[in-house]
Amino acid sequence: MVEKQIILNRAKCLGCGDVITSYSVHDFVICSCGNLSVDGGTEYLKRSYNDPKLVCEMSIYSDEPFELIRENYHRGGYGKNGNEPLKWVPISEMSNEWLQNCIIYNDGRGNFKCFANYLYLKEIKYRKRMKIFIGE
């Protein structure tokens, strides 16, 4: 049996209304009132809270429809030249070239069969089927 993969690590604090997301493995985020924190990115879910009644879980997993996954699986990037602030972009908004370059990068690191490449390839196939092209 294949274990579900975390697509989006997100929760909402019902105390202050903040929706907080952890995008990477040690991305520890705290809501503005301090009741809730999330951590772990797509590697693990970690929650800390003062009042569990004020926590609304919003995480998304790999068993959801691909249309939801493509809007919620993010890749961080520093812009085409690498000199911009870190920005997390859903794969549905990544350029076709960026998707291909991520696959090449992962392959070069010996990670061709990683879950991210699976999603990048699935997004490319989805775009071909739906006649979607996103340029730079």
Shared-domain flag, residues 16 and 43: yes
pLDDT recorded at residue 1 = 47
**% of the chain exceeding 70 in pLDDT:** 99
- What is the rounded (10 degree) CA torsion for 16, 17, 18, 19? 150
Shared-domain flag, residues 95 and 116: yes
pLDDT tens-digit series, residues 98-122:
999 999 999 988 887 899 999 999 9
Question: Would you say residue 104 lies in a domain?
Answer: yes
pLDDT recorded at residue 4 = 92
Structural domain range at position 108 = 74-130
pLDDT recorded at residue 112 = 74
Packed helices 96-108 and 115-130: angle between N→C axes, nearest 10 degrees: 150
Tokens 């991520």 correspond to what residue? 102
Q: What is the mean pLDDT of the chain?
A: 95
pLDDT tens-digit series, residues 33-51:
999 999 999 999 999 999 9
Shared-domain flag, residues 105 and 80: yes
pLDDT recorded at residue 2 = 61
Question: Would you say residue 102 lies in a domain?
Answer: yes
Number of folded domains that form the chain? 2
Give the confidence band of 136 by pLDDT, cuts at 50, 70, 90.
Answer: confident
Evaluate if residue 29 carries a pLDDT over 90: yes
pLDDT recorded at residue 3 = 80
